Amino acid sequence: MASERLRVGFLGAGRIADLQCLGYLEHPDAVISAVCDSDEDVARRRAQEWGATRFYTDPEKLFADPEVDAIEILTPHQFHAQHAIAALEAGKHVSLQKPPTRTLAELDAVSRAAGQSGARIRVFENFMHYPPHVKARELVDEGAIGDVLSIRIKTAGGRPDAGWSVGPGSQAWRMRREDCGGGPITFDHGYHCFHMGRWLVPAEVERVQAFIHWTQLGEDAWHDGPALISWRYAGDLPRFGSWEVIASLGMSVRSDYYVSDDRMEIHGSEGILWVNRCTGKLMEEPSVVLYREGETRAFHELETDWAASFRLGGRDFVDALREGRPAAQDLDEARRTLAFALAAGRSAEEGRAVTLEEIYSAT
C-alpha cells in the first residue's frame, strides 16, 4: 500500500454518507472504488457521484471484491457485528460507524474476528475529530483549566421540518429499540455524548444514574426524550458529569445538518471551558471560550462546519492504514464508551444507579 491508493468500498449509502465520503474523496491516497446499498438506485447514484466503478446490492459481493482494500460500514446497528465480522474475515480493513454494536457480546465477537484476520478496524465517532472539540481536548491536556472536575453536555433539538431531510426508512429502524440497541437519542446519538464525557475527562466512568422519558409513537416505534443522565468518575478526585436532552419541537434550529446542537461546559480547578458549536448554529459566538485567572479568551479561528469532522476522520483512517498505526478509536476505547451507554439505558429502566462493572461482568 506504500505506492497505491487505498481502495474503499461503502456498505450503506444513505444520508450520513453525504459526509462520510468527504475524507476519502479529498485524500490523494484514497479512492472510493465500490458502493453497496440494499436500494439499487441509491447504490448506482452514489457510485456515479463518487466515481466508483462498481456497485452492488449484496454485501457478500462487496466483501469478495478483490479491488476493495477497506470497507466503510454505514448500515443499521443490527447489522454492524455481522457485516464487520464478514468484512474482516474477507481480509478487509474496516471503519465501523458508531455505535459499533448493540451489545458488548457483539463487539467482542467483532474483536475476535479482527484478531484472527490481521486486518485493522476502527470505530468512527466524528465528534472527536470536530475542530472545536479537538481544541478543547488540547486545552485540557495542556492544563489550561487545571484538574478537570466536571463536564456538562446539553443537546437541544428543534422543529423536525428544518435542516436535513432524513427518509422515513432511516428513521424507522432507529425507533425500534431492539434494532437500534437503545433509543435514537440516548443510544444512537448518545454514543457521541458519552464518548465526549470520556474523551474530555482524564478518568474512567464508574457509576451512572439516568432518567429517560420514552414516548411510543407507533406499534414498534419509540422516542427517548427528554432525558437527564449523570455519572461519577473513578478515582480519589471527585469528578462528575451530566448530559441533558431537551426537544423544543416548536423551535427553529439553524443548521445545515440535523436540527439539534450539542454544547459543553468543562469545569476545572483553575478555569472553565465552553464549547458552543456542533451541528447547529444556535448563537453567533466563538466556538470555544476559555476562562482562567479572571480573563476570558475566545478562539475565533477554528473550523466550525460539522462536515470538517468527517473530512478529518476519513483522512485519519487512510493515513493510519498507510502509516501502519492505529486509527482513532480502537475497539477497547469503543467498548468502554458502549458500556457507558448501556449503563445509562439500564439505569433508566431499573430506576437505580448502575456501575460500569455490572455491565462488564454481564458479558
Q: How confident is the model at residue 299 (pLDDT cuts 50, 70, 90)?
A: very high
pLDDT, tens digit, for every residue of 143-193?
999 999 999 999 998 887 778 887 777 788 999 999 999 999 999 999 999
| pLDDT score for 261 | 87
Element spanning 63, H or E: helix 59-63
* 247, containing H or E segment: strand 240-247
Whether 169 contacts 221, CB under 8 Å: no
The domain 6-124 belongs to what CATH superfamily? NAD(P)-binding Rossmann-like Domain (3.40.50.720)
200-237: pLDDT as tens digits: 999 999 999 999 999 998 888 999 999 999 999 999 99
- The pLDDT of residue 183 is 94
Read off the pLDDT band of 49 (50, 70, 90). very high
Q: At what angle do helices 80-89 and 104-117 cross, to 10 degrees?
A: 10
Report percent pLDDT > 70 for the chain.
99
User: Strand 221-233 to strand 240-247: parallel, antiparallel, or no bridges (unpaired)?
Assistant: antiparallel
SS3 per-residue string spanning 93-124: EEEEECCCCCCHHHHHHHHHHHHHHCCCEEEE
The pLDDT score that the predictor gives to residue 311 is 98
Q: What is the pLDDT of residue 283?
A: 85
Crossing angle of helices 131-142/307-323, nearest 10°? 70
- Taking residues 338-351, report their average pLDDT: 98
Determine the average pLDDT of the residues in 325-351.
Answer: 97
pLDDT above 70: residue 128: yes
Q: Cell 440494499, residue?
A: 38
Determine the Cα–Cα distance for residues 176 and 47; give it in Å rounded to an integer: 30
What proportion of the chain, given as a percentage, has pLDDT over 90? 87
At residue 196, the pLDDT reads 98
Q: What is the pLDDT of residues 316-334, one digit of tens each?
A: 999 999 999 999 999 999 9
- pLDDT of 253-274, one tens digit each? 889 998 888 999 999 999 999 9
- pTM of structure: 0.96
Which helix (H) or strand (E) element contains residue 261? strand 260-268
pLDDT greater than 60 at residue 2: no
CATH number of the structural domain 131-305+341-350 = 3.30.360.10
CA distances 89 to 36, 69, 112, Å, are 18, 13, 10
Please provide the average confidence, as pLDDT, over all residues in the chain. 95
Residue 176, CA distances (Å) to 100, 108, 211, 215, 259 in order = 17, 23, 19, 12, 21
pLDDT at 114 over 90: yes
List, in order, residues 6 or more apart from 51 with CB less than 8 Å away. 31, 32
Q: Give the pLDDT band of residue 339 (cuts 50, 70, 90).
A: very high
**Cβ-based neighbours of 160, under 8 Å, separated by 6 or more:** 249, 259
Q: Map out the domains of the chain as residue ranges.
A: 6-124, 131-305+341-350
Give the pLDDT of residue 289. Answer: 98
Q: Please state whether 235 falls in left (phi above 0), alpha (psi between -120 and 50) or beta.
A: left
Which amino acid is located at 235 in the chain?
A: G
* E strand intervals along 13-157: 30-36, 54-56, 70-73, 93-97, 121-124, 148-157
Model confidence band, residue 3 (pLDDT cutoffs 50, 70, 90): very low
The one-letter amino acid code at 64 reads A
Measure the CA dihedral 276/24/172/251, to 10°. 20
pLDDT at position 176 is 94
